[in-house]
Structure 1
Amino acid sequence: MPSDPSTTPVPMRCTAVAAAVINGRQVLLIRRSRGTFAGSWTLVSGRVEAGETAWQAAAREVTEETGLRPITLYTTGNTDVFYNPKDEVMEVVPVFVARTNSQEPVMLDDAHDDYAWLPLPRAMETVAFPGQRRALEMIAHFFMDKPPADFYRIDAYRP
């Protein structure tokens, strides 16, 4: 089907990832300390670096932002999609789940100034972005209410 020359499509871009760090029915949220979203509580998130896969970026970001090393890493099959007016693009952000050792201390990077392990309902109320709230609803069903299906596990991930 030919495109309509009287319209301009909004481009899509996928250069970032998000990860929900979970422990049982608790979710780790981190608060951004600077930039446009300073003061916002979010999931772990960040850019995919050159040569990385999306899941590698998610594992790296969890470690860089929180000091935690995922024990297991899962794809959720879910994305956060939102309009970025500054760059005039639709941002597509794959969402992952990272399970970590509950005994490890959280050590934040300098882009974040606080963290909280919250029960899922409270995390859903606290997170700043609607797409992350929707992702947590799905994560509750597929990763917390029952054991995740094997096909979600990223077998290539080795801590």
Structure 2
Amino acid sequence: MIPIDSSIVAGVALSEIDGVMKMLLMKRVKGGYWCHVGGSIEGEETAWQAIVREFYEETQINIVDLYNAQYLQQFFEANVNVLQIIPVFVVICPPNQAVVLNHEHTDYQWCTLEEAKALTPFPNQHRVFDHVWAYFVDKPIDPLFKVNIK
């Protein structure tokens, strides 16, 4: 049997950087690879509350527009025999969004879809980015995806 863990959330930030839509990637200290925002749900938090907190902790981004990406990222951790099922959120940031990293990351980069896929190692990340780009960049965002964070 493979245990399933659904205590992690992930988020992709989008911002128009110098007139071009891009997504935020950060280089993790642990593992040294590029990734989007993610972290664990704490206490009695809902998934959306956890991603709002994680964005602020990792990037100092205050979320105004949060969306349910309508996507579950899957990641199998072979060394601990756990299947992670991770709801993905999308954050629409103002143009030229500033980023202040915490101790979990060494660098960040705003990337086009192609740049993001070239930097990231995992096929599951590429599928997340393709999905986010298709539903949040290439066409108008469906208002049904909006998360009420008030």
Whether TM-score is above 0.5 comes out as: yes
* 1:125 alignment partner AA: A
2:5 is matched with which residue? 13
1:26 is matched with which residue? 22
In the alignment, is the contact (CA less than 8 A) between 2:15 and 2:96 conserved in 1?
no
* 2:11 alignment partner AA: A
Paired residues in the alignment total: 146
Moved more, 85-94 or 53-62: 85-94
Gaps of 5+ in 1: 1-8
1:42-61 correspondence to structure 2 within 5 Å: 42-61=35-54
| Higher-Rg member (1/2) | 1
SS at match of 1:146: coil
Could you tell me how far 1:102 is from its partner in structure 2?
2.9
1:58-97 correspondence to structure 2 within 5 Å: 58-97=51-90
Gaps of 5+ in 2: none
Encode CA deviations 1:44-71: one digit per residue, 9 max, x unaligned. 1111111101111111111110111122
In the alignment, is the contact (CA less than 8 A) between 1:40 and 1:127 conserved in 2?
yes
* 2:104 alignment partner AA: A
SS at match of 2:80: coil
SS at match of 1:51: coil
Moved more, 83-92 or 114-123: 83-92
In the alignment, is the contact (CA less than 8 A) between 2:15 and 2:97 conserved in 1?
no
Residues in 2 aligned to 1:15 and 1:42: alpha-carbon distance in whole angstroms: 18
Residues in 2 aligned to 1:88 and 1:103: alpha-carbon distance in whole angstroms: 40
Q: What percent identity do the matched residue pairs reach?
A: 32
Q: Which one has a larger percent strand, Structure 1 or Structure 2? A: 2
* 1:147 alignment partner AA: P
SS at match of 1:124: helix
Alignment root-mean-square deviation, CA = 1.3
1:120 is matched with which residue? 113
Residues in 2 aligned to 1:85 and 1:140: alpha-carbon distance in whole angstroms: 29
TM-score w.r.t. the length of structure 1 is 0.86
1:4 is matched with which residue? none
- Write out the 4+ residue segments of structure 1 that deviate beyond 6 Å after TM superposition: none
Residues in 2 aligned to 1:51 and 1:102: alpha-carbon distance in whole angstroms: 33
Matched, 1:134 2:127: yes
